[in-house]
Structure 1
């Protein structure tokens, strides 16, 4: 009996220690579930049942219990009734995790949006594209290649292939269509970076500007430039890990103002010598963008008037945090076709329907490998200069996001390829190789 009691005591102590060790994680876990549920249901217009069975159905998020309140457009999540978190949906601003003292009745500024052009064919409008058949494309091979990544393992939701401004192949998983908004996760970073390109080409921003924050004026951080931030090469401390309590998860699921998450971080390297991928850095850039406008309304409007609505990405919505700053690191939602439009803008060196939003000098800058990134990163976009995809041209670059969101731009082939999914399992190299090989040059 004594041995049994001792074993029971050890088990009990182990349980208590495990519980208290993991308790803080429950706050982040329920925060993820609440935010994801609110966005999926009220922004993407999916059902709670579909969201739980798909978007929230992975370990450990699937242990959270989720509920929605349609009257107030909110979602609440908890784990075994503990650490309950709430997210609310605000029209024009998206879903946001809120604290108990958040007053949702207070009016919020919202961005002014342009009226969609639903009569002009894609890509310059939202109507279906004209049927175009290219003699140099092996459509059967193209279909065979893309069909292979639509399965339970890869969980691909959409693929759109654009050649010479024409959609040559488009496929969606069950439950998704060309009108389905999909979360781009870190593809949103390329939206944020592009806005700097637009300002630079208008002569309204200096990428070599330093002394960016009062908190940095008395130490070496004063030497960090906007250029360093765009290239993720500031030397600032940051942990980008979505499987633990990290800087990234604390920012996304705890912070009221995400533009400040990295301001107070120390240097752990030297600017321009220490590449480190950081969502905190991109939200820092979102905060810097705010300082370029006299009013918050002008900041909110700029993202849409200068870029998103300008190129007809009318389905896109970039969500804001509790301080009403854009979460430029992670929370851009759009249809696959609209994500493709951003890729086409880069493919055409910033020209859109006869108007230059930026020029080829910006594209050259954005696709120049960042020092110490091993040729894999430019300015808020990913590169193949280091040969990550060995069977694809090295001048390919892309917008990439968590769980396998991609927009690939292949300049030499005049191609843009969009893939959205729930996993990163797909063999992207083989996918892109097959697409390229299906087009005879």
Structure 2
């Protein structure tokens, strides 16, 4: 019996060491995506939004995410303006760096380009504020806003008629727009089309696309998310969009 227990213990030790070596040398894609995502989110919120790193990791990464994210550790270097994240403190390290005018991005060894010259900021026209008490009352209703609300602003005819913010956020806190940004961009493009300044049929959109089939991609293709680029954003798996953002995979090839 003792011999069996000894052999079993030795077998388990070998398996454990093998798992540790595997995680250290070639961690699975899911872990690399998890640490890359966490590094980017913490970096953006610490160095752009001015939030506290522990709160960002807990509220923005671990609370809504995969259970494995609860085993993430983060290290914030304010001198180099970088964030490093690892699983269990050792495995699948990822680094995100902040640069003025560029924001935060995941980086890999040796691929961080020098800072670009910062263009002078063009002051925006001051936004007119004409609070509508009825609308203000609606957006301040906690039951309607739901848990986790961070900011709601209502603009009508170019005037800010209502705004409210969650705890720890205010009008000066930059926030990630995620896919809401696509809706805003579509609205702005629609306005430009109505003004006659853009056309859905326009092609040859980017200088990087000259010389190959991408030159035929139209604005309408992009608006309909039918660019023809080899790209899969199936959130049931570790999809191309996630890998392209968090690793060094290019999706800008024609299919």
Q: Quick check: TM above 0.5? A: yes
Q: Does 1:239 align with 2:228?
A: no
Q: Which runs of 5+ in 1 are unaligned?
A: 124-128, 267-441
TM-score w.r.t. length of structure 1: 0.45
CA distance in structure 2 between the aligned counterparts of 1:222 and 1:69, rounded to whole angstroms: 42
Deviations 1:104-163 (A, max 9, x none): 6x341334321355xx4x34xxxxx24555xxx4876x267x310455xx3221223345
Equivalent pair of 2:136/2:163 in contact (CA under 8 Å): no
For 1:3 and 1:227, the matched residues in 2 are separated by 69
Q: Partner of 1:75 in structure 2?
A: 83
Q: Which residue of 1 aligns with 2:201?
A: 207
Within 2, Cα distance between the matches of 1:225 and 1:143?
Answer: 38
Task: Indicate how the Cα distance of structure 1 residues 155 and 62 shifts in structure 2: closer, same or farther if over 3 A, else same.
Answer: same
The one of 49, 54, 66 aligned to 1:49? 54
Structure 2 contact 131–162 (Cα < 8 Å) conserved: no
Which residue pairs with 2:35 in the alignment? 30
Relative to structure 1, is the Cα distance of residues 143 and 195 closer, same or farther in structure 2, using a 3 angstrom cutoff? closer
* 1:263 alignment partner, one of 249, 252, 255: 252
Paired position in structure 1 for 2:104:
95
Offset, 1:40: 0.5
The two structures, once aligned, show a CA RMSD in angstroms of: 3.8
Contact residue 27 and residue 83 of structure 1 kept, 8 A:
yes
Structure showing greater relative contact order (alpha-carbon pairs closer than 8 Å, 6 or more residues apart): 1
**Equivalent residue in structure 2 for 1:65, among 73, 77, 85:** 73
Measure how far apart 1:195 and its partner are: 5.8
Aligned residue number for residue 112 of structure 1? 120
Q: Is the contact made by 1:196 and 1:205 (CA closer than 8 Å) also made in structure 2?
A: no
1:68 Cα shift? 0.9
Distance change (3 Å), C-alpha of 1:264 and 1:25: same
Give the 3 Å change call, closer, same or farther, for CA 224–177 of structure 1 in structure 2.
closer
| Structure 2 counterpart SS, 1:240 | coil
CA distance in 1, matches of 2:103, 2:155: 29
Write 1 or 2 for the structure with the bigger share of helix: 2
CA distance in 1, matches of 2:30, 2:83: 19
Match of 1:39 in 2: 44
CA distance in 2, matches of 1:187, 1:143: 18
Q: Radius of gyration: which is bigger?
A: 2
**Structure 2: runs of 5 or more not aligned:** none
Please, which of 129, 152, 163 is the counterpart of residue 159 of structure 1?
A: 152
CA distance in 2, matches of 1:208, 1:130: 38
Change (3 A) 1:235 1:264: closer
* Residues 207 and 226, structure 1, Cα contact 8 Å, conserved in 2: yes
Distance 2:77 2:179 in 1: 28
